[in-house]
């Protein structure tokens, strides 16, 4: 009885304890979940985690994840602090070296401490009101312009100083002068000699944004959607490395987005020839021209000269005018008359007068006429009056006129360059003499960056004058060639014939490519791998178009292919991308040289069978897919326009010079674009995601006008109705509407309503009619006369016209054109077939083309001779000259060809293409060249030969199998196929790396041996199913899992080919299957995922019993579309076996392999929301790393433990990724197959160094 009572007491106590503890446990679990899911980790959260760990509630994986996130947050805070410090240092240097002295009206190197700024009252008043958001038109940016020396930098420097809390007290102002708000100007950048991305990086630092390129900065501001309400000052735009690109790629888009971001620009620039630079800003900025009479008062220049001559603020400076203020005023007025509108001429003249021992004799005849009227004359007078001057001084200054950026950082280089270009031999002592013993130091700008000190001429107008004098002695090409030799001679030779590029100073690393290119000697340097890896990527890429030999141009194309990667890669990865480019181009000599010169690379490309791109001219580049192209005639010649989601770019076809489109950073993403010609220019019409149809006229101050709203995203097409320009669109009510291209009014045409399953492929003019081409889900094509709303002829039906057509395939693209007086349609299909169709007669024209890749775009021209042209999803462009002619395949892009256009110039038909790689390319349609080799694969298995070692077998798109050595990529065997019998799928043999299994289109499976693919035995699967995919499950008797297109899964004994159980209905249609690596003895476990539905299932089959768990696909409320699985792999998270799936929107999901519960869902931050197509798992120590790729165009490494990611950017879509051994990865993509070896430094970027 006692023992029973005691047991009852213990039970009662236990129940009571649980009752009291359960709420606490629930709270603890809730707290833990909150900790794991919180955006930020705070000290309080860390303490709470410790308590939960002690209490036993917090499980180790959750604690590990929190620990990693806390470490990552600390690292991010340190990086932010570093960026803020870097931005502050850069701003201080910009203020000290440029903006503050200019705002004080003194030279950058001047010893003057006072302020001599005078005038420009109206310009300052207007700009101050705009900065303070007062007055009209405040969201538009401002561009301050004027002739050289007009005081642009002085005005901007004045405003920057007054908006700085520390400098405002040091800057005297007029009593009635309005002042900009303190802190209103968040960044001030002088961009002389800088590239677009360098300017973008500096602006990003000032805004505490972690981006290093123009595209990255714009994308960040677009995604952030925050309103910063600040002004960024950008001065010297005309002196940038490429002023036009700087405006088009960065400044104009920033200005256009000011209404959304709050970031307004205050820009200083010369107008450019025929105001070209100003035109590039379009209507996004308002121009303040300091040369206009309303902003200029000659009395301001006279006052400036008077203040300079008297130097009352700097009594330590000698000047003969200090005791003669009235004389100084008279001389100032005379100088103002002579110098016109140039403060620079006035400044140089005043400094020259101050240097004289006596003041000007105003009693002598014509004394006013002695004052210079140009910058050149003023500089010559100044140099004449410099004590201890002479030819040596001019030689040293002449070199600086040809230098780039901030000038030379080594006095020995400066002296050697002066010797090469000058009249005598110079040394470092001569440089010191200029800097210490002459007043010519006033003509120099000094820049300090760390321990480096650089010198350049303080004004570009001085450089222009000296260069004009230099050209009289020798052409610029010879000057740059000599400067190139000077820089090369400063490098030490290696034991061979090379140079020690590690010794190169900052100037050489940055500007040698420019000098070599301008001197036409770049080609001989391009073969040096260390030169390519050492030079600044932006300057190297800018110089590549100057290559002039065939081998040089070929190398330039090789490097350009990875240009975008080089710009954003870390310094140690640049050589890796150069090696990748060499492998892609088949330049094994260059690849081997790079590998030998840099053996300790973060990762390496061991081999590649990759398509080399054709030699075409690239007009420009978007940071996103090119969605649409248009060509129109402009008064200055043919113009090519291209649209991506957030910008329209435009170029003149003849010379590639840019034209301001006026369409950048719209409020809603662009869906489609077209354009029409006007008598005075062009009109750009864009369809946007929010349903609005906008019209923009480049070169006008008017913003985009709304032609219509509530449009469906079918597209927009330019047409002509009764001789007037119009556009065709589809309303949200599914009505095809024709609108005036001028004002958007609906033309009085019969109403055409689309059916529920119909969509518009294209609308265009042909055969004297305006035609709309419609398609249905059943690939039925109908052609309608828009003006009568009547169909033309009989519909085109794919199934009877194309053999073996599947019901799930679509017609993707169409173009309408005129042929022999009537309309024709060039149709491109999802299955890669192309057909020319006569809708009136209802017949095919010529032989259809049958390819292997979906056709994104088509073009037909029948003006002079038939021209068929189309682009596919691989980035290839196909050209056929007649209905039965030979078809040429040209590798043009590293991504699908979304748009094809043509334009005639000088009697030649030019083809323009826009790709998913963002490039816009153009070439002569008559150009002959070899067809690109087909390196198209879509499946891969790995194994090992008994003698040859590791092997890789890849399934090609033409149905063949190719077996490679894993180390070198040498081809060991090709397993051929026929049109009737093609290989369809392959699978590795678990536990037997020497064998693999193949499946062909006739249902024949074969067990094959590496390395030659010889057949050990074969079996035929039941003919009543169409078998598409296979996997092998390792058992004592291996089991074959075969997925049929019907959605059923077959189970077969691999050795006998006999089924071991009835087929299992898994999905409604096509699907894939992957068996778990660890199988129980009494069950079969595998994962399936359907292609036609958003289903991923974890199956357990025991005898006749089959159960599945639907793996949860999306639990995030911020992602509207469901997750679609494209591939799965298996690994471990700690001690837990997991299934890892990838799919749409760069998302990964981790499920427990035991019960299918979702453990983690993540989205790659640098995947650009593109679909991932495959995944495999790598083990780094004890940690699982997901290796994935897809339309992200990269091999992405993602740690299951830390959630960190790192990308190796390949540049084109990837279909398959396969891990080989501990560090190897084989990838298959639209351009071929490639083997990459990942080093420890690459893995460390996602998991950190391993312990021990």
Strand partners, 949: 945
Question: Which of 1170, 1174, 1137, 1135 lies closest to 1153 in space, CA to CA?
Answer: 1137
1005 C-beta neighbours (distance < 10 Å), count: 24
Alpha helices, H only, 422-475: 428-437, 460-471
DSSP character for 98? I
CA atoms of 1173 and 1213, how far apart (whole Å): 9
Q: Which three-class secondary structure string do you get for 100-111?
A: HHHHHCCCCCCC
1083 C-beta neighbours (distance < 10 Å), count: 14
| CB within 8 Å of 905: residues ≥ 6 apart | 637, 638, 653, 654
Give pLDDT, residue 498. 83
Question: Which of 955, 897, 874, 871 lies closest to 1212 in space, CA to CA?
Answer: 874
Cβ atoms 197, 213 nearer than 8 A: yes
Alpha helices, H only, 340-410: 343-355, 375-385, 391-402
| CB within 8 Å of 837: residues ≥ 6 apart | 781, 796, 824, 825, 826, 827, 843, 844, 845
CA atoms of 1220 and 1205, how far apart (whole Å): 20
Q: Which of 751-765, 839-853, 921-935 has the lowest mean pLDDT?
A: 921-935
- Average pLDDT of the chain is 87
**pLDDT tens per residue across span 1010-1022:** 999 999 999 999 9
CATH architecture of 77-296: 3-Layer(aba) Sandwich (3.40)
- For β-strands 230-235 and 263-268, DSSP reports them as parallel
- For β-strands 230-235 and 185-190, DSSP reports them as parallel
Q: Which of 23-37, 112-126, 1081-1095, 1149-1163 has the lowest mean pLDDT?
A: 23-37
Q: Which of 109-113, 539-543, 859-863 has the lowest mean pLDDT?
A: 109-113
Cβ atoms 977, 955 nearer than 8 A: no
Cβ atoms 1175, 1218 nearer than 8 A: no
Tokens of 1001: 């289109």
Average pLDDT over residues 297-310: 91
CA atoms of 843 and 801, how far apart (whole Å): 9
At what angle are helices 574-585 and 550-560 packed, to 10 degrees?
Answer: 120
CA atoms of 526 and 257, how far apart (whole Å): 40
Give pLDDT, residue 808. 63
**pLDDT tens per residue across span 261-280:** 999 999 999 998 878 899 89
Residue for token pair 């910009």: 94
Share of the chain above pLDDT 70, in %: 89
Average pLDDT over residues 86-104: 80
Q: In whole angstroms, how far apart are CA 683 and each of 652, 660, 743, 839? A: 15, 12, 11, 32
Tokens of 126: 């207007």
Cβ atoms 381, 372 nearer than 8 A: yes
CA atoms of 127 and 139, how far apart (whole Å): 13
CA atoms of 241 and 686, how far apart (whole Å): 31
Higher pLDDT, 12 or 751: 751
Q: How confident is the model at residue 4 (pLDDT cuts 50, 70, 90)?
A: very low
Tokens of 278: 């100003």
Strand partners, 695: 685, 705
Sequence ranges of the domains in the chain: 77-296, 299-383, 387-610, 617-924, 1112-1251
pLDDT reading at 72 higher than 70: no
CA atoms of 485 and 497, how far apart (whole Å): 15
Question: Which fold would CATH assign to domain 617-924?
Answer: Methylamine Dehydrogenase; Chain H (2.130.10)
- For β-strands 141-145 and 285-289, DSSP reports them as parallel
**DSSP line for 901-942:** EEEEETTEEEEEEEETTSEEEEEETT---PPPP---EEEEEE
Question: Which of 1036, 1052, 940 lies closest to 988 in space, CA to CA?
Answer: 940
At what angle are helices 343-355 and 298-310 packed, to 10 degrees?
Answer: 30
CA atoms of 284 and 264, how far apart (whole Å): 10
CATH architecture of 1112-1251: 7 Propeller (2.130)
Judging by beta carbons within 10 Å of its beta carbon (0-12, 13-18, 19+), is residue 1197 exposed, middle or buried? buried
Cβ atoms 384, 370 nearer than 8 A: no
Higher pLDDT, 382 or 552: 552
Give pLDDT, residue 14. 46
CA atoms of 271 and 953, how far apart (whole Å): 60
**pLDDT tens per residue across span 377-406:** 988 888 887 666 688 999 999 999 999 999
Higher pLDDT, 351 or 419: 419
Give pLDDT, residue 7. 39
Q: Which three-class secondary structure string do you get for 694-733?
A: EEECCCCCCCCEEEECCECCCCCEEEEECCEEEEEEEECC
Give pLDDT, residue 10. 45
At what angle are helices 343-355 and 375-385 packed, to 10 degrees?
Answer: 20
**Per-residue exposure over 259-272, b if at least 16 CB sit within 10 Å of its own CB, e if not:** ebbbbbbbbbbbbb
Q: In whole angstroms, how far apart are CA 918 and each of 624, 768, 1158? A: 5, 35, 36
Q: Do domains 617-924 and 1112-1251 have the same CATH topology?
A: yes
pLDDT reading at 660 higher than 90: no
CA atoms of 219 and 254, how far apart (whole Å): 11
Question: Which of 1159, 1172, 1194, 1199 lies closest to 1183 in space, CA to CA?
Answer: 1199
Share of the chain above pLDDT 90, in %: 60
pLDDT reading at 37 higher than 70: no
Helix H or strand E segment including 21: helix 2-37
Give pLDDT, residue 6. 37
Residue 849 sits at the vertex; the CA angle it makes with 847 and 851, to the nearest 5 degrees, is 165
pLDDT reading at 1172 higher than 50: yes
The alpha carbon dihedral of 649, 651, 656, 659 has a sign of negative
pLDDT reading at 936 higher than 80: no
Radius of gyration of the chain (CA): 35
886 C-beta neighbours (distance < 10 Å), count: 9
**Could you give the 3-state DSSP secondary structure of residue 1186?**
strand
Length of the chain: 1252
Cβ atoms 362, 321 nearer than 8 A: no
Average pLDDT over residues 1177-1191: 92
Give pLDDT, residue 645. 93
Q: In 205-295, where do the E strands start and end?
A: 230-235, 263-268, 285-289
Q: Which of 234-238, 994-998, 1044-1048, 1117-1121 has the lowest mean pLDDT?
A: 1117-1121
CA atoms of 167 and 54, how far apart (whole Å): 56
Cβ atoms 323, 315 nearer than 8 A: no
Average pLDDT over residues 277-305: 91
Average pLDDT over residues 77-90: 66
CA atoms of 249 and 621, how far apart (whole Å): 9
Tokens of 823: 């309309």
**pLDDT tens per residue across span 148-159:** 999 999 999 999
Give pLDDT, residue 986. 94
pLDDT reading at 1234 higher than 90: yes
**DSSP line for 529-576:** HHHHHHS-HHHHHHHGGG--SHHHHHHHHHHHTTHHHHHHS-GGGHHH
Residue for token pair 């004799």: 361
Backbone angle region of 366, left / alpha / beta, with phi > 0 → left and psi within -120 to 50 → alpha: left
Give pLDDT, residue 204. 93
Give pLDDT, residue 1107. 96
Q: How confident is the model at residue 73 (pLDDT cuts 50, 70, 90)?
A: low
Judging by beta carbons within 10 Å of its beta carbon (0-12, 13-18, 19+), is residue 60 exposed, middle or buried? exposed
Q: Does the reported pTM lie above 0.85?
A: yes
Give pLDDT, residue 78. 67
**pLDDT tens per residue across span 352-381:** 898 888 899 988 988 999 999 999 998 888
Higher pLDDT, 418 or 496: 418
CA atoms of 914 and 920, how far apart (whole Å): 5
DSSP character for 442? G
Backbone angles phi, psi at 354, to 5 degrees: -65, -35
């Amino acid at each position: 009885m006692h023992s029973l009572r005691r047991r009852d007491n213990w039970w009662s106590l236990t129940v009571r304890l649980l009752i009291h503890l359960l709420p606490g446990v629930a709270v603890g679990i809730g707290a833990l979940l909150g900790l794991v899911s919180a955006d930020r980790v705070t000290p309080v959260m860390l303490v709470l985690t410790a308590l939960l760990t002690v209490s036993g509630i917090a499980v180790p994986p959750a604690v590990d994840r929190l620990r990693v996130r806390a470490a990552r947050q600390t690292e991010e805070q340190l990086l932010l602090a570093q960026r803020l410090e870097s931005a502050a240092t850069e701003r201080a240097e910009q203020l000290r070296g440029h903006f503050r002295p200019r705002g004080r009206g003194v030279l950058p190197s001047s010893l003057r401490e006072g302020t001599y700024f005078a005038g420009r009252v109206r310009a300052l008043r207007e700009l101050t009101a705009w900065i303070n958001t007062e007055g009209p038109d405040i969201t538009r940016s401002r561009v301050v312009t004027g002739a050289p020396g007009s005081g642009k930098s002085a005005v901007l420097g004045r405003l920057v100083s007054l908006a700085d809390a520390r400098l405002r007290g040091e800057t005297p102002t007029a009593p009635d002068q309005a002042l900009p708000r303190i802190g209103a100007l968040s960044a001030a950048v002088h961009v002389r000699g800088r590239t677009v991305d360098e300017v973008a990086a500096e602006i990003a630092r000032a805004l505490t944004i972690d981006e290093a390129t123009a595209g990255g900065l714009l994308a960040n501001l677009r995604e952030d959607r925050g309103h910063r309400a600040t002004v960024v000052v950008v001065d010297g735009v005309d002196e940038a490395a490429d002023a036009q690109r700087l405006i088009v790629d960065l400044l104009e888009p920033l200005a256009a987005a000011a209404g959304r971001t709050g970031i307004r620009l205050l820009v200083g620039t010369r107008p450019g020839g025929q105001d070209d630079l100003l035109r590039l800003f379009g209507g996004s900025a308002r121009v303040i021209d300091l040369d206009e009479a309303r902003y200029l008062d000659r009395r301001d220049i006279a006052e400036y000269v008077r203040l300079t001559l008297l130097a009352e603020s700097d009594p330590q400076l000698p000047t003969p005018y200090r005791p003669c203020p009235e004389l100084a005023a008279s001389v100032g007025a005379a100088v103002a008359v002579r110098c016109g509108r140039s403060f620079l001429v006035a400044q140089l003249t005043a400094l020259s007068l101050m240097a004289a021992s006596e003041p000007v004799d105003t009693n002598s005849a014509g004394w006013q006429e002695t004052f210079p009227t140009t910058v050149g004359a003023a500089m010559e007078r100044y140099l004449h009056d410099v004590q201890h001057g002479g030819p040596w001084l001019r030689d040293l200054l002449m070199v600086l006129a040809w230098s780039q950026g901030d000038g030379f950082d080594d006095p020995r280089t400066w002296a050697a360059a002066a010797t090469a270009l000058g009249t005598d031999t110079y040394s470092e002592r001569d440089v010191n003499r200029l800097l210490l013993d002459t007043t010519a130091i006033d003509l120099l700008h000094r820049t300090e960056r760390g321990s480096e000190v650089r010198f350049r001429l303080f004004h570009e107008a001085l450089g222009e004058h000296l260069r004009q004098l230099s050209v009289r002695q020798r052409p610029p090409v010879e000057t740059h060639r000599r400067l190139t030799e000077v820089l090369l001679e400063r490098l030490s030779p290696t034991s061979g014939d090379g140079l020690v590029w590690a010794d190169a100073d900052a100037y050489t690393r940055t500007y040698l490519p420019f000098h070599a290119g301008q001197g036409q000697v770049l080609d001989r340097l391009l073969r040096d791998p260390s030169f390519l890896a050492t030079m600044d990527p932006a300057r190297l890429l800018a110089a590549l178009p100057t290559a002039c030999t065939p081998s040089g141009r070929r190398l330039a194309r090789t490097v350009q292919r990875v240009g975008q990667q080089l710009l954003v890669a870390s310094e140690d990865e640049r050589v890796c991308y150069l090696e990748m480019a060499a492998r892609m181009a088949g330049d094994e000599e260059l690849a081997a040289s790079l590998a030998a010169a840099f053996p300790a690379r973060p990762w390496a490309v061991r081999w590649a069978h990759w398509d080399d791109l054709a030699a075409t001219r690239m007009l420009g580049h978007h940071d996103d897919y090119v969605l649409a192209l248009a060509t129109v005639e402009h008064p200055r010649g043919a113009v090519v326009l291209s649209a991506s989601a957030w910008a329209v770019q435009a170029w003149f076809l003849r010379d590639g010079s840019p034209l301001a489109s006026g369409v950048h950073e719209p409020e809603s993403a662009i869906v489609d674009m077209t354009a029409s010609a006007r008598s005075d220019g062009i009109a750009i019409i864009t369809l946007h995601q929010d349903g609005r149809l906008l019209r923009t006229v480049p070169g006008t101050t008017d913003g985009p006008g709304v032609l219509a709203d509530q449009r469906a995203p079918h597209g927009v097409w330019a047409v002509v109705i009764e001789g007037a320009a119009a556009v065709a669109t589809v309303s949200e009510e599914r009505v095809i509407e024709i609108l005036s291209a001028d004002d958007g009014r609906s033309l009085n045409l019969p109403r055409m309503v689309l059916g529920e399953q119909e969509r518009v492929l294209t609308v265009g003019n042909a055969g004297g009619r305006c035609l709309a081409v419609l398609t249905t889900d059943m690939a039925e094509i109908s052609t309608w006369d828009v003006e009568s709303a009547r169909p033309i002829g009989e519909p085109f039906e794919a199934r009877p016209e194309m053999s073996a057509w599947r019901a799930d395939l679509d017609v993707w693209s169409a173009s309408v054109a005129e042929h022999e007086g009537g309309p024709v349609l060039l149709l491109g299909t999802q299955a890669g077939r192309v057909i020319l169709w006569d809708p009136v007669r209802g017949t095919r024209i010529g032989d259809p083309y049958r390819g292997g890749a979906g056709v994104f775009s088509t073009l037909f021209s029948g003006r002079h001779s038939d021209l068929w042209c189309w682009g596919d999803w691989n980035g290839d462009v196909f050209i056929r000259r007649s209905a039965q002619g030979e078809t040429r395949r040209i590798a043009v892009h590293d991504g699908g060809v979304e748009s094809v256009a043509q334009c005639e110039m000088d009697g030649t038909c030019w083809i323009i293409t826009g790709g998913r790689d963002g490039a816009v390319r153009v070439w002569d349609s008559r150009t002959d060249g070899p067809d690109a080799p087909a390196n198209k694969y879509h499946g891969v298995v790995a194994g090992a030969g008994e003698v040859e070692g590791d092997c890789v077998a890849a399934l090609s798109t033409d149905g063949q199998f190719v077996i490679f050595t894993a180390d070198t990529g040498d081809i060991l065997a090709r397993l051929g196929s026929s049109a009737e019998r093609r290989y369809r799928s392959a699978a590795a043999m678990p536990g037997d790396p020497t064998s693999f299994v193949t499946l062909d289109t006739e249902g024949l499976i074969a067990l094959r041996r590496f390395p030659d693919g010889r057949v050990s035995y074969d079996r035929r699967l039941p003919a009543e199913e169409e078998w598409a995919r296979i996997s092998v499950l390792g058992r004592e008797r291996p089991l074959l899992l075969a997925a049929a297109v019907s959605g059923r899964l077959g189970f077969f004994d691999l050795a006998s080919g006999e089924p071991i159980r009835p087929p299992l209905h898994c999905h409604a249609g096509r699907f894939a299957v992957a068996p778990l690596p660890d199988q129980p003895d009494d069950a079969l476990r595998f994962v399936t995922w359907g292609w036609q539905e958003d289903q991923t299932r974890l199956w357990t089959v025991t005898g006749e019993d089959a159960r599945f768990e639907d793996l949860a696909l999306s639990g995030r409320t911020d992602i509207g579309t469901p997750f679609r699985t494209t591939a799965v792999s298996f690994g471990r998270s700690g001690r837990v076996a997991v299934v890892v799936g990838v799919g749409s929107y760069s998302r990964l999901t981790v499920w427990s392999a035991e019960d299918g519960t979702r453990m983690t869902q993540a989205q790659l931050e640098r995947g650009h929301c593109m679909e991932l197509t495959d995944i495999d798992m790598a083990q780094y120590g004890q940690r699982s790393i997901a290796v994935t790729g897809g339309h992200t165009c990269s091999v992405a490494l993602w740690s299951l433990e830390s959630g960190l990611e790192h990308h190796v950017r390949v540049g084109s879509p990837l279909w398959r990724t396969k891990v080989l051994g501990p560090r190897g990865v084989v990838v298959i993509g639209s351009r071929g197959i490639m083997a990459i070896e990942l080093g420890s430094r690459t893995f460390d970027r996602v998991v950190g160094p391993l312990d021990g």
